[in-house]
Amino acid sequence: MKVVTKPVTAFMQNTRFITCEQTGDTAVLDPGGEAEILLDHIANNNLQVKCILLTHGHLDHVGACVEIAKKLDIQIIGPTEEERFWFEALPMQSQMFGFEPHEVFYPDRWLKHGDVFELGHLKFEVRHCPGHTPGHVVFYEANKRVVFVGDVLFKGSVGRTDFPKGNSEQLKTSIETQLFTLPDEVQVYSGHGSNTSIGYEKVHNPFMSGRFG
């Protein structure tokens, strides 16, 4: 598996290009904005993009979806349907986040907890991790020991829960049951900031140890 990260917008949101090195099939995870930059990367590297994957519906993670999907004629997949209200609120999110006005859209396919998404020879287990948002999902590839967590968990921090339908206790439960049950060596690819690992966060994350929050 090859992963290339392109931070976009003033929020420095980590858009990921995930490629199965055996087949060349690529998924774009959380294209949050600046579609031209992301499309240029796709064209310059001759990527065979099969779909867009979304962890949740915040505009800084979905802002370039529609343009890329139309340009490449691909589907937008995920998160779970509990996230529908965030997609319906995209015009409001535009004002809240200071983005250009964005129309309402919906994924072509909602996911459910326990689904398995296949990309070439890669198999991603979908885990529902509410708290930051109600329909947030993470994508875990057990053979490669990696998990893409969106805004659930960061190096030394956790996702915000002060947005509508956020819930701090729910977020903590999601991390404890869906992430901290993974092997310590699993690499964590977060929606913002640097990568980390499950083992590091279990020991050092102050929001999960009780030191903060």
**Structural domains in the chain plus CATH codes:** 2-209 (3.60.15.10)
Of 129, 151, 179, nearest to 58 by C-alpha is: 151
Alpha-helical runs (H) found in the chain: 35-44, 59-62, 65-72, 84-88, 90-97, 168-174, 198-204, 206-209
Euclidean distance between CA atoms 64 and 34, whole angstroms:
6
Euclidean distance between CA atoms 106 and 72, whole angstroms:
17
Instruction: Give me the mean pLDDT over the 4-25 stretch.
Output: 97
Question: Is this structure's pTM higher than 0.85?
Answer: yes
Of 11, 57, 64, 2, nearest to 39 by C-alpha is: 64
- Find the helix or strand (DSSP H, E) in which 103 lies: none
Beta-ladder partners of 148? 139, 189
* 182 pLDDT more than 50: yes
- pLDDT tens digits, 49-101: 999 999 999 999 999 999 999 999 999 999 999 999 999 999 999 988 888 88
- Report the mean per-residue pLDDT for the chain: 96
Instruction: Give me the mean pLDDT over the 2-20 stretch.
Output: 97
Q: Which two tokens stand for residue 158?
A: 């956790």
* 207 pLDDT more than 60: yes
